[in-house]
């Protein structure tokens, strides 16, 4: 049997909680691996957490200044020399552009390690798919991602998310929430078909568990309408009714919604509240405004109207919640469009998946406080076109 096929079969037949044991065993038997370790990115994208016996028995490694982090950030294999004539290959573990972590494999250089990179990289991709499937049945990988305990509100919010990045030939997407372990109201969602991409950035009012409950209701109302094949303006109207029926106007939720046509870049937009859009085109950043409409659930039976928008190949769209553009410095100065534009310019060479975290790091420098008093969301869309 081909050894790659053997590795793939071992992963597909392993128990959900035993994927690391399975990949260790098959890489040792088929590839003469000396050591195998799986690292998963934590919720804040600051460290790579080792998957091992819980509680964790190994130290996490930095995303920013480690060999594992180099492979994770570049999404390319990275090989380092280690002692006794061995090399360690760090292989990105990702699924359709969603960066999960890194598989590190130590091999003897004389066993042909450099020539195995493509094959080992494919095994890492198979492992990524199996981790995603296994998370339906075990908490091992979700627990391994945590360097701190999540608040209950954050637990609910992270469970709503589609992922943190994705990629197709027409576009690349990345998004991040902060504070990662204590978010409550901000959220994002996306869904793609053969012809369309739908994006949602939401910002629920309130704090803690109440904000999370509001966002859960609104996101699921939007998904319910979307999955019924309803246009985005009617999705907004139905979600508005669901939120108003429950809260009677006491609580409401802001949302910025896009429905992109992949073949042409034409989009329909519903702007219902505080999330904002900045566009990087031909080296210049501009704030794109739409006709403001009422947040979801503020009043009974609000009608929503979709506006037209055109995106061009090479455009970068950055969507932010009010926890980004309205956050104040210690002197009371709002972050605002100018600072956001500088942050977007300074990150223009980064891939879309890296931009949200980089912008949020710049935001923390402006805020000047260790802990924010509002959660913040950044989403980046790079449009390539068809």
What the block records as the tokens of 16 is 């959900």
Q: Which of 21-30, 107-116, 293-302, 346-355 has the lowest mean pLDDT?
A: 107-116
Q: Which of 13-17, 120-124, 146-150, 225-229 has the lowest mean pLDDT?
A: 146-150
What the block records as the tokens of 223 is 């998904």
Nearest to 23 by CA among 131, 143, 99: 131
Q: State the alpha helices, DSSP H only, in the chain.
A: 3-13, 19-31, 67-74, 117-134, 140-144, 152-160, 208-227, 232-247, 322-325, 336-346, 355-367
Confidence band (pLDDT; 50, 70, 90) for 145? very high
Q: What is the mean pLDDT of residues 294-310?
A: 96
Local structure of residue 334 (DSSP, 8 states): B
Provide the 10 A C-beta neighbour count for residue 113.
21
pLDDT recorded at residue 262: 98
Is a pLDDT exceeding 70 seen at residue 367?
no
Q: What is the mean pLDDT of residues 217-227?
A: 98
Is a pLDDT exceeding 80 seen at residue 371?
no
Is a pLDDT exceeding 60 seen at residue 326?
yes
pLDDT recorded at residue 55: 58
Q: At a CB cut-off of 8 Å and minimum separation 6, what does 377 contact? A: 175, 176, 177, 178, 186, 187, 188, 201, 203, 275, 319, 320, 321, 323, 324
Is a pLDDT exceeding 80 seen at residue 134?
yes
**Regarding beta strands 316-320 and 376-383, do their DSSP bridges make them parallel or antiparallel, or are they unpaired?**
antiparallel
pLDDT recorded at residue 197: 98
Q: Which of 138-147, 253-262, 333-342, 355-364 has the lowest mean pLDDT?
A: 333-342
- Answer for the pair 285, 331: CB distance below 8 angstroms, yes or no: no
Is a pLDDT exceeding 80 seen at residue 135?
yes
pLDDT in tens, 212-221: 999 999 999 9
Is a pLDDT exceeding 80 seen at residue 335?
no
Query: 109: exposed, middle or buried (C-beta count within 10 Å: 0-12, 13-18, 19+)?
Result: middle
| CA 304 from centre of chain | 28
pLDDT recorded at residue 83: 85
pLDDT in tens, 261-283: 999 999 999 999 989 999 999 99
Q: Find the angle CA(163)-CA(236)-CA(314) to the nearest 5 degrees.
A: 50
pLDDT in tens, 8-65: 999 999 999 999 999 999 999 999 999 999 999 999 999 999 998 665 557 899 999 9
Higher pLDDT, 59 or 188: 188
pLDDT recorded at residue 374: 74
pLDDT recorded at residue 224: 98
**Regarding beta strands 47-50 and 61-62, do their DSSP bridges make them parallel or antiparallel, or are they unpaired?**
antiparallel
Average pLDDT, the chain: 92
pLDDT recorded at residue 338: 84
- Answer for the pair 310, 265: CB distance below 8 angstroms, yes or no: yes
Hey, which residues does 49 pair with through a beta bridge? 40
Confidence band (pLDDT; 50, 70, 90) for 368? low
Confidence band (pLDDT; 50, 70, 90) for 84? confident
């Amino acid at each position: 049997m081909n050894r790659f096929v053997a590795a793939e079969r071992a992963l597909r037949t392993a128990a959900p909680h035993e994927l690391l044991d399975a990949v260790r065993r098959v890489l040792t038997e088929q590839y003469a691996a000396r050591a195998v370790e799986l690292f998963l990115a934590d919720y804040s994208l600051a460290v790579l957490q080792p998957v091992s016996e819980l509680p964790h028995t190994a130290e996490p490694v930095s995303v920013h200044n480690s060999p594992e982090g180099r492979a994770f950030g570049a999404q390319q294999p990275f090989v380092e020399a280690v002692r006794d004539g061995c090399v360690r290959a760090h292989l990105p573990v990702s699924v359709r552009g969603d960066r999960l972590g890194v598989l590190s494999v130590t091999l003897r250089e004389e066993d042909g390690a450099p020539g195995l990179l493509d094959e080992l990289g494919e095994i890492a991709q198979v492992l990524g798919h199996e981790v995603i499937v296994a998370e339906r049945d075990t908490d091992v990988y979700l627990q391994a991602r945590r360097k701190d305990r999540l608040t209950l509100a954050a637990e609910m919010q992270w469970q709503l998310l589609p992922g943190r990045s994705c990629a197709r030939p027409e576009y690349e997407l990345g998004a991040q929430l902060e504070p990662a372990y204590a978010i409550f109201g901000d959220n994002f969602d996306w869904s793609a078909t053969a012809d369309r991409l739908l994006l949602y950035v939401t910002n629920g009012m309130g704090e803690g568990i109440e904000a999370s409950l509001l966002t859960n209701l609104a996101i699921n109302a939007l998904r319910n309408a979307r999955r019924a094949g309803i246009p985005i303006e009617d999705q907004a109207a139905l979600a508005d009714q669901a939120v108003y029926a429950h809260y009677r106007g006491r609580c409401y939720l802001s949302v910025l919604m896009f429905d992109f046509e992949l073949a042409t870049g034409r989009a329909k937009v519903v702007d219902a509240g505080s999330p904002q859009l900045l566009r990087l085109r031909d080296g210049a950043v501009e704030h794109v405004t739409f006709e403001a409409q009422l947040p979801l659930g503020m009043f009974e039976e609000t009608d929503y109207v979709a506006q037209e928008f055109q995106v061009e190949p090479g455009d970068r769209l950055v969507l932010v919640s009010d926890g980004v553009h309205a956050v104040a410095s210690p002197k009371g100065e709002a972050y605002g469009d100018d600072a956001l534009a500088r942050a977007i310019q300074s990150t223009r060479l980064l891939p879309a998946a890296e931009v949200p975290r980089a912008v949020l790091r710049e935001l923390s420098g402006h805020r000047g406080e260790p802990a924010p008093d509002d959660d913040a969301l950044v989403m980046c869309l790079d449009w390539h076109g068809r």
